[in-house]
Structure 1
Amino acid sequence: MAKNKNSGHKVVAENRKARFNFTIEEDFEAGIVLKGTEVKSLRQGEANISESYAEVKDGEVWLVNSYIKEYDMGNRFNHDARRPRKLLLHKREINRIFAAVQRKGMTLVPLSLYFNEHNKAKVKLALARGKKVHDKRATEKERDWNRQKSRLMKDLG
């Protein structure tokens, strides 16, 4: 579990491919409804959100296909590793997300799962638009150029 330098968040899981595959338009911080064994597993850093997504159903936002490993010391009340988890957002945020997904064809992608300063589990969600292949190539080209530019500046000065 890494601690983010600037915000004090303890990041448990990060979706690193999200920024490459999607253009991020707007992001939200949402609480997440968890069971006790899920929290214990998260504190051990046993989670993955790289293949997950969020959807709006019946006025609620759900995190689907996220993986939180079953707690080793859990008993028969242990949680299901890939169950849908409810996300906690304000009603107007849910309405804005629902409108963007319906009208503009955007996707709701989780960027990271972390514990905030008050030790509450949070999910950073993003309203995103999928990138085309040529956009991905341009992003990669720009990243390579910035890397090469920093090497040149390091060598020269």
Structure 2
Amino acid sequence: MARDTSKDRFAAQNRKARHDFFIEDTLDAGMVLTGTEVKSLRLGRVSINEAFAVEKDGEIWLLNAYFPEYESANRFNHEPRRPRKLLLKHREIKKLHGQTERQGMTLIPLSIYFNERGIAKMQLGLAHGKRKVDKRATEKERDWKRDQHKLMKTRSRAD
């Protein structure tokens, strides 16, 4: 079977994160996974919609991510909702800890992808939550930009 030649192949995405949060900064992190978790990830069945990351004992952990069991694994399967360690540099962990503690921000997983070497990576977003008013304003702005694009398209055709 031919390998996927695209640079970033998404295995899972949290599409609702940009709707529910203001993403201030993003960073990539490695993950400590078992073999059956990687196989489940390659099948694209992973859900990170309710997941979040926390700092504990100087390490970053991914909580509440759902990696379903790999059917062919038999008795060597993994636990679907176990905490998974994220691999970041010590300097990045300190920076994230300071921002989450002082500024009340949250670490949200935005996507899981395979890099060009085939290694699973996670894109984390440093975010703070949107209120209902903010969500409505964002939706209104998006609708206006879409209408504006349609108007420009029809105007250019008329010329």
Q: TM-score, normalised by structure 1?
A: 0.94
Runs of 4+ in 1 over 4 A off after TM superposition: none
| Contact 1:28–1:125 (Cα < 8 Å) also in 2 | yes
1:129 alignment partner in structure 2: 128
Distance in 1 separating the partners of 2:62 and 2:49: 12
> Which structure shows the higher strand fraction?
1
RMSD between aligned alpha carbons?
1.4
Larger radius of gyration: 2
In the other structure, the counterpart of 1:112 is 111
Q: CA deviation at 1:91?
A: 0.3
| 2:14 counterpart letter in structure 1 | N
Q: Of Structure 1 and Structure 2, which has the larger fraction of its residues in helix? A: 2
- The structure-2 alpha-carbon separation of the partners of 1:104 and 1:4, relative to structure 1 and needing over 3 Å to count, comes to farther
Q: Which residue of 2 aligns with 1:97?
A: 96
Listed one character per residue, the Cα deviations across residues 120-145 of structure 1 (whole Å, up to 9, x for unaligned) are 10000011011122111110000101
Q: How many residues align?
A: 153
Percent identity for Structure 1 against Structure 2: 56
- Segment of structure 1 superposing worse, 144-153 or 82-91: 144-153
Deviation digits for residues 84-111 of structure 1, max 9, x if unmatched?
1000000010000000010000001000
Segments of structure 2 that go 5 or more residues without pairing to the other structure are none
